[in-house]
Amino acid sequence: MSGRSFVVTSGKGGVGKTTTTANLGCALAGLGHTVVVVDADIGLRNLDLVLGLEKRIVYDLVDVAEGRCQPRQALIKDKRVDGLFLLPAAQTKDKEAIDEGQMKTIVRWLAANFDVVLVDCPAGIEHGFRNAVAGADEAIVVTTPEVSAIRDADRILGMLGSRRARLIVNRVRPEMVKTGDMLSVDDVADILGREVLGTVPDDEEIIDTTNRGEPVALDKERRLAKTYATMARRMCGEAVELPSHEDGIWGRLRRLIGSKA
């Protein structure tokens, strides 16, 4: 049976796509799945750093596309968690070194050989976006609860065709939501009209672990690791409830009165 392929996208840069891809990859592998995370940000590779695997790169996505190596030769196995592999981006200046057809072929091959493929999308809606989306059957749209990020997420949702797309609301600050200075997760979901796969608080631990190349999701005892594990379970179809602490007053009120409106 073929595995599932997801693109992790957003439109706007800097909202947390790469962080999300790395942590979801770790969390899914931690649940026992075989996972390949693909860095589709050609020329601006990042996922290798966030995963702390940059020193082990030999071949990359462009090498695979151009037949200089077999897909398996370009995969870097993460030694910290069983079942997690990285397909790194090339650092070439030519962002158009790969086309949609090549990307589709690569992601299809990966999905045929692994349980889950996560494609980390570059910012924007240009060539790199179309490539990253090409081979993915489903989408995870990352946004922060800010108007500019939500607007870009809305635009991206319109470009994903018939793919199932779910949201991750990143960098939520519950105290700001409480005071009405930040949109709640429910507000974001209402505006975008999509299901929320998960929410991640704004937390310095994410920045710290990212800088060290040790995604927080690797350490299963950490609170944030559990946040990513919940999302990973929901991706796999488990009926795990979202933690409710990120919601604003309206979200809590809705739940109290049992309304979905």
Ligand X SMILES: Nc1ncnc2c1ncn2[C@@H]1O[C@H](COP(=O)(O)OP(=O)(O)O)[C@@H](O)[C@H]1O
Residue 59 CB, nearest approach to ligand X (Å): 23
In 3D space, the residue among 174, 162, 109 whose CA is nearest the CA of residue 133 turns out to be 162
Which amino acid would we find at residue 10?
A: S
Instruction: Kindly state whether residue 21 participates in binding Mg ion, applying the rule CB under 5 A.
Output: no
DSSP of 50-117, one letter per residue? HTT-GGG--S-HHHHHTTSS-HHHHPEEPSSSTTEEEEPPP--S-TTSS-HHHHHHHHHHHHHHSSEE
What does the alpha-carbon distance between residue 188 and residue 72 come to, in Å, rounded to a whole number?
39
**Strand 76-77 to 84-87 pairing:** antiparallel
Given 4, 17, 166, 194, the residue binding ligand X (CB under 6 A): 17
Q: How far is the CB of 210 from ligand X (least distance, A)?
A: 4
Q: How far is the CB of 1 from ligand X (least distance, A)?
A: 30
- Applying CB under 6 A, which of residues 5, 6, 11, 18 lies at the interface with ligand X? 18
124-183: contacts with ligand X (CB under 6 A): 170-171
Those residues whose C-beta lies under 8 Å from the C-beta of residue 221, and which sit 6 or more positions away, are none
Name residue, tokens 């570059």: 122
CA angle in degrees (0–180, nearest 5) for 183-19-21: 105
Residue 154 CB, nearest approach to Mg ion (Å): 20
Cβ distance to Mg ion smaller for residue 5 or 46: 46
Site string for ligand X, 197-236 (x = CB under 6 A): ---x-xx--xx--x--------------------------
CB of 128 to ligand X, least distance (A): 12
Minimum CB distance to ligand X smaller for 111 or for 169? 169
> What is d(CA 107, CA 103) in angstroms, rounded to the nearest whole number?
6
Contacting residues toward Mg ion, per CB under 5 A = 17-18, 46
Contacting residues toward ligand X, per CB under 6 A = 10, 13-19, 46, 123, 170-171, 200, 202-203, 206-207, 210
